[in-house]
Amino acid sequence: MEAITITLNGREVSGQPGMTVLDLARESGVAVPTLCHDPYLDPIGACRICIVEDERSGALMASCVTPIAPGMVINTESPRVQERRKTIIKLMLASHPDSCLVCDKGNRCQLRKVASDIGVGLVDFQRIPQQATIIEEVNPFIERDLSKCILCAKCIRACQELVGEGAIDYLGRGFVSKPATLGDLPLEKSECTFCGTCVALCPTGAIMEKDKVYKGTTTTTVHSVCPFCGCGCGVYLEVKDNRLVRVRPDADSSLSRSTLCVKGSYGCDFVHSPDRLSSPMVKVDGNFEAVSWEEALGMVAEEFKRMKEAHGSSSLAVFGSSKCTNEENYLLQRFARCVLSTNNIDNGSRLYNAATHVGLWETVGCRGTTNSFDDLERSQVILVIGTDPTSSAPLVEYAIKRAVKRNGAELLLIDPRQTKLVSWANLWLRPKVGTDLALIDGMVKVIIDEKMLDKEHVADKTTNLETLAKDLQEYTPGHVEKITGITSDDICHAARLFAKAGRASIVYGDGITQSVNGVGSVAALANLALMTGNIGDGGGGIYALQMENNAQGACDMGTLPDFLPGYQSVEDAQARKIFEARWGCQLPLGAGLTALEAISGIEDGKMRGMYIVGENPAASFPNSNLVRQALESLDFLVVQDMFLTETAKLAKVVLPVASFAEKEGTFTNFDGTVQRIKKALEPFGDSLPDWEVILRLATKMNYSMPYSSPRDVMNEIAELVPLYQGVNYDKLDVKSYRLDKGQIAGEKMKFSPVKYTQQPSPEDGYPLTLFVGTTLYQFGSGSRSLRASRLRKLLPEAFVELSKSDSRNLKVKDGDRVKVVSPTGEVAALVRISDTLNQGTVFMPAVFPEGQANGLFDIVLDPRTKAPALKTCQVRLERIEGDG
Ligand code: SF4
């Protein structure tokens, strides 16, 4: 397209067709004030502060909504423009309360800033009575004082255009107009999810953060990455006096686009929790006693040395962390391999990531999400299966809703639960629990039979179609209907919808990876993408959601028993040689034990010592009672954490570590984007960053690692790990970096025939199927989110959701206490009656320490991934006597 040239303040400048005058002015370095404008929102020209003058016609126009046109002669600072801007600001101030001195928005108020910039001090206009009032809110996150609202509609547009929630809109006309929820209800009674986007974008103090632990004017602002889910939202940490005053979205991050979810916006105050560990501790006669670092690390070093000599390296195991940085995981696996001489190292993401690693590797040659986050939004059809991104990956949910609402994408939702995304779906399929694989196989068969394959893609880039077609012969729509309960018509409809889209994407999560058929289901989804050409450039992609912020990075860095960093096999002689030369040690041979194999090894008496960094297996692993007993019986357990978690309580030595806000490093999110985190706070008490603890411990064990900072570690990673070759701290300061995870060079992608296998009938006495999942307001095993003061307020007790009909049959009502009993364990929970579940199914979040749903699951490992099935199990509910 030909560039358009205009005259701007006497200078010729050129821009692309479609740009507005404001866009071009800003690109050309000309400042134009705005209040209602945001680069991620559709411009509406509501505030008019951005007016400019076209000197040819004398017209004054809002530059944010005026496209550039050839020959324009624009003046952004003419006397008429300046006078008009002053009038507009004075009108706004005439209806604004005189509360600047006490308003918490302080110097962040854009109205005040613009007024000052254009020279408006005293307002000589008659005051305009303000109709809108302060709205009392019960929720712990957001409060509104609409007397300060300037009707810029940023909150409304952010909620509708970016988050796709639409919880607020204009109510009333003229002087009484205001942004309000449906029925003008308090936020907690609306659809609001408290993501905080409206708070971040409000230019005045009309919508503000509530119940902050620390208040005051920010003195330092530091870039970081949200420490919760795998989306990896960029954040700014605002700090005063070594306290986190506020967390706001990074408006320049193309991933988060000014949005966060409630956890990112209001959950990071766990860093100031009174439960933080402040000094190393050693257990003496069953009680922890504070000791110096010197003493604690000395004891750990001596014990590990003694055990290695007495029982061999195979008696030791290390757990890395999907919450720690890439650099820390890299150091930890080096410590395990070079100091302890063992490949017994794993990380917690095995519980939800292992099926993806195997299933996608064997088909598309990739170990995670294949395409970028932006590609997802460009999809024409999005298949969402085995995940509720509204709770587990909110940023992905926003992108899906934007794709549907703004780009006309069609949503194909497969979920036995009626989640929030159902109202956005063109087609919602509700298969019987555990039958996803049969349904996908059925869709694949329809695509083959109706010749809807992308023939060119299949011929050029794939192999093994014939075998797949042969193996799936029995998966006719009729046969699949019998297994899944989905009608043949709907199976065909879903297959056609997916196959006929130009760009179709698949989003899946732990509902697939933690199911009994996890690897098979992932491979079946890959088959679907492969045969429709939806892999790679220009097409759709496969999006494997990950629970923790650095699950991808922890695996990339080699905290895995069978891989050195960058998925270079521990058996690969060439790779071993390179690492051995650099690290000056002989690497152990043969794959080590996975996390759950190591736990089983304790029972067998083979495993005697463990070093667990940033994981909480006593709460997050299945059959937690058994896991707890096993860990307790170890000769020596060292836990490195911020809190005295359920696992740390069992340790002999506890090493306190810095939070994400107190250290440097990088995280890699679920789509492979590497981002830096920077130190915003001094570490709490005597805690140290994990990387420093690992280095000190290695030195104590007579193995010095030559790094003085995480930057040094990343330099080595970039050198030795091909996947991370382009990563560099200085470049990351300018822009995040997305890893090139392309398929295996020169090899064709491969269809993998996988068949559904009928699960054994449940034991008598356990008639209900339990789903375990996440909730929006809590996270993981809750070690951090339950210590976030406001998140904890909203969801204080463990609950179990069940359908109305089940509640009638069981004679329980909302708020009753029940025992959820499985063949493996039992937990107490409050009843919540929900219309989102089918009869016979119940739902629990995994998060509460006093009601760990994971404890209901037996440890049954997938033979290939060595990961346990943790999604569904059979239970019964028993009313707790004396209740109701
Ligand atoms: Fe973003 Fe996930 Fe953090 Fe929410 S929890 S702000 S979606 S990274």
H or E element, residue 505 = strand 504-508
Alpha helices in 589-689 (DSSP H): 595-603, 617-620, 624-632
The answer to whether residues 733 and 727 touch, using CB atoms and an 8 Å cutoff, is no
CA dist 162 and 160 (Å) reads: 6
Q: What is the pLDDT of residue 136?
A: 73
- If one compares 241 and 883, the residue with the highest pLDDT of the two is 241
Using one digit for the tens of pLDDT, what is the confidence trace for 168-203?
Answer: 999 988 878 899 999 999 999 999 999 999 999 999
Nearest CA to ligand 1 atom 6: 264
Closest ligand 1 atom, residue 260 Cα: 6
Segment 129-146 mean pLDDT? 83
Q: What is the pLDDT of residue 542?
A: 96
Distance 734 CA to ligand 1 centre (A): 21
The answer to whether residues 309 and 668 touch, using CB atoms and an 8 Å cutoff, is no
Q: What is the pLDDT of residue 134?
A: 75
Using one digit for the tens of pLDDT, what is the confidence trace for 753-781?
Answer: 999 988 777 778 999 999 898 889 988 88
Exposure of 529 in the CB half-sphere (CA atoms within 13 A): 34
Closest ligand 1 atom, residue 256 Cα: 1
Segment 25-38 mean pLDDT? 97
pLDDT for residue 884 is more than 60:
no
Closest ligand 1 atom, residue 228 Cα: 5
CA dist 845 and 393 (Å) reads: 15
- If one compares 133 and 223, the residue with the highest pLDDT of the two is 223
- As given in the structure block, the two tokens for residue 634 are 């170890």
Ligand 1 pocket, residue 233 CB under 6 Å: yes
Nearest CA to ligand 1 atom 2: 229
- Report the range of poorest mean pLDDT among 131-140, 405-414, 626-635: 131-140
Segment 535-564 mean pLDDT? 92
Which one of 199, 395, 546, 550 would you pick to mutate in the ligand 1 pocket, going by the greatest count of ligand atoms within 8 A of its CB? 395
What are the distances in angstroms from CA 475 to CA 384, 429, 431, 442, 483?
21, 17, 15, 5, 10
- If one compares 150 and 846, the residue with the highest pLDDT of the two is 150
Helix 477-484, helix 436-449: angle, nearest 10: 170
pLDDT for residue 127 is more than 70:
yes
Q: What is the pLDDT of residue 64?
A: 98
- Classify each residue of 107-117 as buried b or exposed e, where b means 16 or more C-beta atoms within 10 Å of its C-beta: ebbbbbebbee
Task: List CB contacts of 595: < 8 A, sequence separation 6 or more.
Answer: 317, 319, 346, 347, 348, 350, 615, 617, 621
Ligand 1 pocket, residue 394 CB under 6 Å: yes
Closest ligand 1 atom, residue 262 Cα: 4
| Type of residue found at 500 | K
Closest ligand 1 atom, residue 669 Cα: 8
CA dist 667 and 678 (Å) reads: 11
The answer to whether residues 178 and 172 touch, using CB atoms and an 8 Å cutoff, is yes
Residues, the chain: 884
Q: What is the pLDDT of residue 849?
A: 63
CA dist 119 and 881 (Å) reads: 71
- Report the range of poorest mean pLDDT among 181-185, 294-298, 327-331, 680-684: 181-185
Ligand 1 pocket, residue 395 CB under 6 Å: yes
Ligand 1 pocket, residue 228 CB under 6 Å: yes
The answer to whether residues 833 and 814 touch, using CB atoms and an 8 Å cutoff, is yes
CA dist 779 and 463 (Å) reads: 40
Closest ligand 1 atom, residue 226 Cα: 3
Using one digit for the tens of pLDDT, what is the confidence trace for 812-821?
Answer: 999 999 999 9
DSSP lists the bridge partners of residue 178 as 171
DSSP lists the bridge partners of residue 222 as 237
User: What is the Cα gyration radius of the chain?
Assistant: 29
Which one of 235, 258, 261 would you pick to mutate in the ligand 1 pocket, going by the greatest count of ligand atoms within 8 A of its CB? 261
Render 579-607 in DSSP notation, one character per residue. Answer: HHHHHTSPPPPS----HHHHHHHHHTT--
The answer to whether residues 241 and 272 touch, using CB atoms and an 8 Å cutoff, is no
Strands, sheet with 673-677, edge to edge from the N-terminal-most edge strand: 665-668, 673-677, 737-738
Sign of CA dihedral 254, 260, 265, 268: negative
Ligand 1 pocket, residue 163 CB under 6 Å: no
* The residue to which tokens 């604690």 are assigned: 296
CA dist 387 and 369 (Å) reads: 15
Nearest CA to ligand 1 atom 4: 261
Ligand 1 pocket, residue 756 CB under 6 Å: no
Ligand 1 pocket, residue 486 CB under 6 Å: no
pLDDT for residue 745 is more than 60:
no
CA geometry: angle 846, 848, 849, nearest 5 deg: 115
Which one of 162, 257, 260 would you pick to mutate in the ligand 1 pocket, going by the greatest count of ligand atoms within 8 A of its CB? 260
Using one digit for the tens of pLDDT, what is the confidence trace for 446-458?
Answer: 999 999 999 999 9
Ligand 1 pocket, residue 179 CB under 6 Å: no
Helix 690-700, helix 326-334: angle, nearest 10: 20
CA dist 457 and 530 (Å) reads: 8
CA dist 144 and 136 (Å) reads: 7
Alpha helices in 259-347 (DSSP H): 262-266, 293-311, 326-334
From its phi and psi, is residue 10 left (phi > 0), alpha (psi between -120 and 50) or beta? left
pLDDT for residue 215 is more than 70:
yes
Which one of 194, 226, 270, 669 would you pick to mutate in the ligand 1 pocket, going by the greatest count of ligand atoms within 8 A of its CB? 226
pLDDT for residue 735 is more than 90:
no
Q: What is the pLDDT of residue 742?
A: 60
Q: What is the pLDDT of residue 788?
A: 94
In three-state secondary structure terms, 552 is helix
Max mean pLDDT among 175-179, 221-225, 539-543, 859-863 falls in 221-225
Count of other CB atoms within 10 angstroms of residue 274? 5
CA dist 478 and 487 (Å) reads: 8
pLDDT bin (cut points 50, 70, 90) of residue 563 is: very high
Distance 307 CA to ligand 1 centre (A): 41
Render 192-238 in DSSP notation, one character per residue. Answer: -----HHHHH-SSSSEEE-S-SS-S---EEEEEE-SSSTT--EEEEE
pLDDT for residue 135 is more than 90:
no
H or E element, residue 482 = helix 477-484
- As given in the structure block, the two tokens for residue 461 are 């880039």
- Classify each residue of 465-478 as buried b or exposed e, where b means 16 or more C-beta atoms within 10 Å of its C-beta: beebbebbeebbbe
Using one digit for the tens of pLDDT, what is the confidence trace for 283-312?
Answer: 999 999 999 999 999 999 999 999 999 999
> What is residue 129's DSSP assignment?
P
Ligand 1 pocket, residue 263 CB under 6 Å: yes
The answer to whether residues 561 and 319 touch, using CB atoms and an 8 Å cutoff, is no
Q: What is the pLDDT of residue 538?
A: 65
The answer to whether residues 49 and 92 touch, using CB atoms and an 8 Å cutoff, is no
Ligand 1 pocket, residue 226 CB under 6 Å: yes
The answer to whether residues 753 and 467 touch, using CB atoms and an 8 Å cutoff, is yes
pLDDT bin (cut points 50, 70, 90) of residue 126 is: confident
CA geometry: angle 355, 358, 361, nearest 5 deg: 130
pLDDT bin (cut points 50, 70, 90) of residue 210 is: very high
- Model confidence, pTM: 0.95
**How many helical (H) and strand (E) elements, i.e. helices and strands, does the chain have?**
29, 38
Distance 587 CA to ligand 1 centre (A): 37
Ligand 1 pocket, residue 231 CB under 6 Å: yes
Q: What is the pLDDT of residue 743?
A: 54
Write the burial class of residue 291 (CB in 10 Å: 0-12 exposed, 13-18 middle, 19+ buried): middle
pLDDT bin (cut points 50, 70, 90) of residue 207 is: very high
Q: What is the pLDDT of residue 635?
A: 97
- If one compares 94 and 761, the residue with the highest pLDDT of the two is 94
Segment 724-733 mean pLDDT? 94
Segment 448-471 mean pLDDT? 96
The answer to whether residues 724 and 555 touch, using CB atoms and an 8 Å cutoff, is no
CA dist 649 and 849 (Å) reads: 13
Return phi, psi of residue 124, to 5°: -95, 15
Segment 253-262 mean pLDDT? 89
Mean pLDDT of the chain: 94
H or E element, residue 413 = strand 410-414
